Amino acid sequence: MRTQSSLVKRLTLMFMFAVTAVLVVAGMSFYVLSQHHFQMLDEQALSEKLESTRHILSISAARDELDDQEPQLRALLGAHQDLAAEILLSDGTVLFKDSKASQIPDQFKQAEPGAIWEWRDESHNFRGVTSHLTIKGEPTPVTVMLMLDVTSHAHFFETLQWWFSIGLVISALVSAGLGWVMAKSGLRPLGQITKVATSMSARSLRERIPLEPVPLELQALILSFNGMLARLEDAFVRLSNFSADIAHELRTPVSNLMTHTEVVLTKKRDLDAYEENLYSNLEDLKRMSRMIDDMLFLAKADNGLIIPGQVDIELADLVSKLLEYYQLAAEDQGIQLTLRGRGRIRGDRLMIDRAVSNILSNALRYTPEGNDIAVQIDQAADYVTLTVRNGGATIDPQHINNIFDRFYRADPARREGNPSNAGLGLAITRSIVEAHKGTVWCSSADGETTFHISLPVG
């Protein structure tokens, strides 16, 4: 398995490389600019000396008069200790030459006029210029060569390079240390996340990481982590409640089975008594079987394993058959069933039948005698809405958003009008509707409760 380097190490190296790169660029820029600056100074000095030489030579009327100008030339050219000068006629005759001029190579006598040339011997660096000047009395121009010793400049740049290298190493080490400190400080919120995640358990899912001390760049991560904790807490609470509800719902039929069996076994009984006990046990077993089937259906729905069929369904026909099925029970309670509207969708007929049946069954269970249950179907361009309205007690707003949860009872005492009801019908309805890409919700006010199912047309 490949070992990944730590984030602190990466950030430290990145900071060090960034600082080093900036220093290298700055140092190279300073080095190049300094060289250019010294070169400009040297060229300016050579240009000034050359112009002064031109002026002195221009006032000489003949070659013999050059001897009178030699003191001025020596004063001008010899005053600069690093400057060497030589003046030659076209035939090679030396008009002027100082003691340092012997160092000038002959090759530069033929150099391009005005061009700056450079030369290096074993221990010195030189920069010079060659020019041709016209003087009175001479048919051809004279050659003037000026050369500066720039060895001190080379030594300066060598020293600069040495100190820059040392400074670069020191700066890299210091920047690495500062980068490590900054990275550790900046990543401290990640350590807090790790601490919270490490201490996380089923009893501490309510903990959240505060956003106040967290940098903006990490707030999105913290929000996502807190959101994950909230979802885990909600899922864990629902799972715990689901487990408790399963135990509660299964305890009653199991207790009934045990009680009936124990009573029958207390003494010898005739065949009719045993048969009656078996029929009683069968009712409880059927209830348990239905509950288990419903829980398996919801488990498949939660994992996306329910794939509805795709057939054309006329909702009015489907609801009409269901109303005929519930008609007898409704008449016994003095409840009138009505249907209005039509609508067509595509989906699984058996699933839609079960979802609407659960809604109607729930409405019959809670509708007082003498009231009515009205089913309305409204067709739109993209969806069909089916509403089931019934009179009765208004559902408390705090329960409206929870009535589609499994085993949810609005009554804290958990009493139900029908002992066979397990509290899974509305949860199954929501799973079926969501599997068809629809929505289901409930509204209740002024003694009237309405369930709404919205399904896409196709």
Mean pLDDT computed over every residue of the chain: 79
What average pLDDT does the segment 171-187 reach?
Answer: 85
Instruction: Say which residues have a Cβ less than 8 Å from residue 274's Cβ, sequence separation at least 6.
Output: 264
Q: Is 279 helix (H, G, I), strand (E, B) or coil?
A: helix
What average pLDDT does the segment 2-30 reach?
Answer: 83
117 in the same domain as 151: yes
Q: Find how far residue 180's CA is from the centre of its chain.
A: 24
Return the structure tokens found at 115.
């061009």
Q: Read off the pLDDT band of 340 (50, 70, 90).
A: very high
Q: In angstroms, how far apart are the furthest CA atoms of the chain?
A: 164
List phi, psi (to 5°) of 267.
-155, 170
Q: Out of 135-139, 150-154, 365-369, give the one with best mean pLDDT.
A: 365-369
Which pLDDT score is estimated for 61? 45
Which pLDDT score is estimated for 47? 82
Which pLDDT score is estimated for 413? 42
Which has more pLDDT, 214 or 129?
129
pLDDT digits (tens, 9 = 90+) for 235-291: 777 777 667 767 766 777 787 778 878 878 888 888 888 888 888 788 778 877 777
Find tokens 């121009």 and name the residue: 141
> Between β-strands 344-347 and 383-391, what pairing exists: parallel, antiparallel or unpaired?
unpaired
Taken as a whole, the chain contains a residue count of 458
Q: Cβ distance 177 to 184 under 8 Å? A: no
Domain of 315, CATH number, reads 3.30.565.10
Q: Cβ distance 13 to 178 under 8 Å? A: no
Q: Read off the pLDDT band of 145 (50, 70, 90).
A: confident
Q: Cβ distance 457 to 384 under 8 Å? A: yes
Q: Read off the pLDDT band of 416 (50, 70, 90).
A: very low
297 in the same domain as 334: no
Q: Cβ distance 163 to 144 under 8 Å? A: no
Which has more pLDDT, 80 or 186?
186
Cα Rg of the chain, angstroms = 51
For residue 403, the tally of other CB atoms under 10 A from its CB is 20
Report d(CA 339, CA 388) in Å as an integer.
9
324 in the same domain as 289: no
List phi, psi (to 5°) of 127.
-140, 130
Q: The domain containing residue 110 runs over which residues?
A: 7-166
How many CA atoms does the CB half-sphere of 15 hold within 13 Å?
Answer: 20
Q: Out of 209-213, 280-284, 408-412, give the one with best mean pLDDT.
A: 280-284
Q: Check whether 414 has a pLDDT greater than 50.
A: no
Q: Read off the pLDDT band of 75 (50, 70, 90).
A: low
User: How far separated are the first and last CA of the chain, in Å rounded?
Assistant: 50
Which pLDDT score is estimated for 87? 78
Which of 220-224, 307-311, 371-375, 404-408 shows the lowest per-residue confidence on average (mean pLDDT)?
Answer: 404-408
338 in the same domain as 232: no
Report d(CA 98, CA 81) in Å as an integer.
11
Q: Among residues of the chain, what percentage have pLDDT more than 90?
A: 12
What average pLDDT does the segment 364-383 reach?
Answer: 89
Q: Is 334 left (phi over 0), alpha (psi -120 to 50) or beta?
A: left
Q: Check whether 143 has a pLDDT greater than 60.
A: yes
Which pLDDT score is estimated for 221? 78
Which of 147-156, 218-227, 234-243, 433-442 shows the lowest per-residue confidence on average (mean pLDDT)?
Answer: 234-243
Give the CA dihedral 432, 433, 436, 438, nearest 10 degrees: -170
Establish if 102 belongs to a structural domain. Answer: yes
336 in the same domain as 450: yes
Domain boundary among 166, 186, 201: 166
276 in the same domain as 137: no
Q: Cβ distance 456 to 435 under 8 Å? A: no
Q: Cβ distance 192 to 225 under 8 Å? A: no
298 in the same domain as 230: yes
Report d(CA 366, CA 442) in Å as an integer.
14
Q: Find how far residue 410's CA is from the centre of its chain.
A: 42
Closest CA to 340 of 375, 387, 384: 375
What are the residues facing 83 on neighbouring strands?
148
19 in the same domain as 100: yes
Q: Check whether 56 has a pLDDT greater than 50.
A: yes
Q: Is 435 helix (H, G, I), strand (E, B) or coil?
A: helix
Q: Is 226 helix (H, G, I), strand (E, B) or coil?
A: helix
Q: Is 14 helix (H, G, I), strand (E, B) or coil?
A: helix
Which has more pLDDT, 90 or 28?
28
Number of domains the chain contains: 3
> Between β-strands 311-314 and 125-133, what pairing exists: parallel, antiparallel or unpaired?
unpaired
85 in the same domain as 161: yes
Domain of 231, CATH number, reads 1.10.287.130
446 in the same domain as 383: yes
145 in the same domain as 114: yes
Q: Cβ distance 95 to 87 under 8 Å? A: yes
Domain boundary among 240, 274, 302: 302
Which has more pLDDT, 321 or 98?
321
